[in-house]
Amino acid sequence: MRFDVVTLFPELFAPHLTQGITRRAFDSRQVDVRLWPLRDHAEDAYRRVDDRPYGGGPGMVMLAEPLLRALTAIRNERQDTAPVVLFSPAGRRLEQAGVREFAAGQGAVLICGRYEGVDQRLIDRHVDLELSLGDFVLSGGELPALALLDAVARLQPGVLGDARSHAQDSFSEGHLLDWPHYSRPEVWRDAAAELPVPPVLMSGHHADIARWRRERALELTARRRPDLLAAARASGELRPADESYLASLGL
C-alpha cells in the first residue's frame, strides 16, 4: 500500500521511517511512503503556503491552492481513489479499528495540518476524513501521521518478530489491557528492597500462569479503564470465570 504525505516538515519523517521494528515494512515497500513538501507547490516566488484568517484573529491559515496543487500531483501519480485524510484537532479519534482498515486498504493521502488550520473550502471539497489523536494540543499533524504509519506498518505480515504479539495486543483482539511483565533477575534488589517475581510465574504450571495473567488483566482493566471493561463485556469476550473473578473483587 502507498501513503502520500503532504507536509511543511518533510525532514520529520525520515528518522522514524528508517528505525526500529516498523522499518522493515517501509524498507520492503510493503508500506510505501512518499513525501510531498508543501512549499514545492506554492504559487509565488516567496513560496507562501499560509496567510492571515479572513475575519481576523490569531494565527495563520494554510492556503487552499498549494494544497490542491499537491493533491493534483499526487492523483496524477496514484491511479486510484485512496482517501484524503486531514490530521486536525477537529477530527474523529483514530482507534485501532481505523488502523486495521487502513492496513487492509490501498493506503491514503495524508495532509498534515499546521498553524490554526486549513482553508475550509479545501476541506469541504477534497478531504474525505479528518482524524485526531485525542484531546491534547500538538503543533501540527506530522506526529499524528507518523503514529498512523507506525500503527499500520506493525500490522504488515512479517514486521513483528512474533506473530502471537498481534493476537494478544490490547485493543487488537480483545479489549483487555495487558497483564504485567517480569524478566530477569528473579529477585531484583532496589535500595533496601528485595523484589521477587510473582512466584506463580516461576512455577512452570501453565494453566496457573494463564489464569493469573487473565486475572491481572481483568483487574487492571476494571480499575484503570472501566470503559474498556464495558466494551469487553458488550463484545461477549468475558467468560463466566472472568465475571466470577471480577465479582470476587467487587468489580
Residue 180 falls in the annotated catalytic set: no
Task: Kindly indicate which of the ranges 29-37, 137-145, 159-167, 176-184 contains the residues binding ligand 9D3, using the contact rule CB under 6 A.
Answer: 137-145
Interface pick for ligand 9D3 out of 26, 88, 221, 246 (rule CB under 6 A):
88
Q: Which of 134, 158, 198, 226 contacts ligand 9D3 by CB under 6 A?
A: 134
CA separation for the pair 126, 91 (Å, rounded):
15
Q: Is 58 in the site for ligand 9D3 (CB under 6 A)?
A: no
Residue 111 CB burial class (10 angstroms; 0-12, 13-18, ≥19): buried
Q: Which stretch binds ligand 9D3 (CB under 6 A): 44-52, 81-89, 207-215, 222-230?
A: 81-89
Our answer to whether residue 194 is catalytic in this structure is no
Q: Is 174 in the site for ligand 9D3 (CB under 6 A)?
A: no
Among 22, 144, 151, 179, binds ligand 9D3 (CB under 6 A): 144
**Catalytic (active site) residue 169:** yes
Rounded to an integer, what is the distance from CA 78 to the centroid of its chain?
A: 24
Q: Hey, CA dihedral for 198, 200, 204, 210, is it positive or negative?
A: negative
Nearer to ligand 9D3, 120 or 203 (CB): 120
Contacts of 179 (CB under 8 A, 6+ apart): 212, 213, 214, 216, 217, 220
d(CA 88, CA 134): 10
Report residue 107 CA to chain centroid gap.
Answer: 15
* Closer CB to ligand 9D3, 37 or 117, in the complex: 117
**Which contiguous run of DSSP H or E holds residue 241?**
helix 240-248
The single residue of 169, 211, 219, 233 carrying the catalytic annotation is: 169
C-beta neighbour count of 148 within 10 angstroms: 24
Q: Does 53 bind ligand 9D3 (CB under 6 A)?
A: no
12 lines the binding site for ligand 9D3 (CB under 6 A): no
Neighbouring CB atoms inside 10 A of 90's CB total: 11
Interaction of residue 7 with ligand 9D3, rule CB under 6 A: no
DSSP SS3 for 119: coil
From 50, 66, 114, 154, the catalytic residue:
154
The cell numbers describing 3, all together, are 501513503
185 to 214: interface string for ligand 9D3, x by CB under 6 A? ------------------------------
Catalytic residue from among 53, 89, 100, 233: 89
Binding-site ranges for ligand 9D3 (CB under 6 A)? 87-89, 113, 116-117, 132-134, 136-141, 144
Write out the catalytic residue numbers.
89, 116, 154, 169
